[in-house]
Amino acid sequence: MVHFVGAGPGAPDLITRRGAALLQTADCIIYAGSLVNPALLGLAGPDCAIYNSAEMTLEQVLAVMKENEAAHKTTVRLHTGDPCLYGAIREQMDALDAMGIAYDDTPGVSSFCGAAAALNAEYTLPGVSQTVIITRMEGRTPVPEGERLAALAAHGATMVIFLSIGLIDRVQDALLQGAYTAATPAAVVYKATWPEQKIVHCTVGTLVESTRAAGITKTALIVVGDFLAAQYDRSKLYDPAFTTEFRRGTDR
Ligand code: SAH
């Protein structure tokens, strides 16, 4: 059996208990070495075989899974954050289906949640934005026409941009073509939840210069929107006037 596991954003104690238990009992771990904290490999048993997928192709990863399955061994495929975002798990799952190998998926804390925690921020503030757009700038990996950053920026919603810090010039240009202005707050979060975490507060207009000044070139998220500003409405849910299924408000 193959277990896909979300490693969390970096801090080793942010993996789920289920994910940690799977690492402890795995016969083999294939981890995404470019981003997964190697400290997690310390959970592996002494006889566990460990592979770094950063140095492997999809075919090589599948070959290791197939070999383990034939020997009735358990493989953990350890992806950074949550495997469902930019994890390239679908192609692995489809191949495993074709080979008749069973698998399951254990979620993890995505880096976009790690970044919000680092910022002490709420992405969905009443009166500001009730939508989070998770996206990336097109680079060597194309993005569908209708999802170009400039088009998504038209919504002015909270935006979290993955995999794009190396294209920060183009990100800034695209954001300014939408509903954001040069004064819209933004932040760059480098290695959220790792000891070397860095946070840069800036605006859309100063994204490029602030990122350069901080020397951030990889492993970062760009977050944009007025959720980083001071103004918002208080929640209805906790408003004394508001009646809910669990609490009678003063409006009744
Ligand atoms: N599945 C992962 C994302 C993998 S794509 C998740 O859920 O987080 C890799 C990109 O994620 C990086 O280029 C960077 O943009 C972002 N990333 C991953 N870990 C990060 C972290 N600790 N801090 C900031 N960004 C991170």
Asked if residue 54 belongs to a domain, the reply is yes
Residues 56, 35, 106, 55, Cα dihedral to 10°: 10
Same domain, 99 and 122: no
- Which CATH number characterizes residue 120's domain? 3.30.950.10
Domain co-membership, 201 together with 147: yes
Is the distance from the beta carbon of residue 4 to the nearest atom of ligand 1 less than 6 Å?
Answer: no
On whether both 210 and 174 belong to a single domain, the answer is yes
Tell me if 59 is assigned to some domain. yes
Residue 132 and residue 89 share a domain: no
Same domain for 167 and 101? no
Tell me the two tokens of residue 49.
């075989």
Dist. CA 88 → ligand 1 center (Å): 13
Number of H helices, E strands in the chain: 7, 10
What is the rounded CA–CA span in Å between residue 179 and residue 176?
A: 7
3-state secondary structure of 230: coil
Output the CA 83–ligand 1 centroid distance in Å.
11
Give the CB-side neighbour count of residue 226, counting CA atoms within 13 A: 18
Give kind and range of the element (H or E) at residue 21. helix 17-25
Position 252 in a domain: no
Give residue 10 CA to ligand 1 midpoint distance, Å.
Answer: 9
CB of 6 closer than 6 angstroms to any ligand 1 atom: no
Burial (CB count <10 Å: 0-12, 13-18, 19+), residue 146: exposed
Domain of 155 in residue numbering reads as: 111-228
Best residue for ligand 1 mutational test, from 111, 134, 161, 197 (most atoms within 8 Å of Cβ): 111
Q: How would you class 129 by CB atoms within 10 Å of its CB: exposed for 0-12, middle for 13-18, buried for 19 or more?
A: buried
* Residue of 153, 143, 188 whose CA lies nearest to 173: 153
- Helix H or strand E encompassing 28: strand 28-31
At 251 the pLDDT is 81
Question: What is the full per-residue pLDDT of the chain (252 aa) written as tens digits?
Answer: 999 999 999 999 999 999 999 999 999 999 999 899 999 999 999 999 999 999 999 999 999 999 999 999 999 999 999 999 999 999 999 999 999 999 999 999 999 999 999 999 999 999 999 999 999 999 999 999 999 999 999 999 999 999 999 999 999 999 999 999 999 999 999 999 999 999 999 999 999 999 999 999 999 999 999 999 999 999 988 999 899 889 899 987
173 CB-near residues (< 8 Å, 6+ apart): 150
160: in domain? yes
Q: How far apart are CA 47 and CA 43, in angstroms?
A: 12
Tokens read off for 180: 């954001």
| DSSP 3-state of 31 | strand
Helices (H), 76-178: 90-99, 111-119, 149-152, 168-176
| 245 inside domain | no
Q: Domain count for the chain, please give it.
A: 2
**In a domain? residue 137:** yes
Q: How far is the CA of 115 from the centre of ligand 1 (A)?
A: 9
- Cα–Cα distance for residue pair 76/26, rounded to 1 Å: 6
Query: 156-213: per-residue pLDDT in tens?
Result: 999 999 999 999 999 999 999 999 999 999 999 999 999 999 999 999 999 999 999 9
Residue 223 CB–ligand 1 contact under 6 Å: no
User: Residue 117 is encoded by which pair of tokens?
Assistant: 């925690």
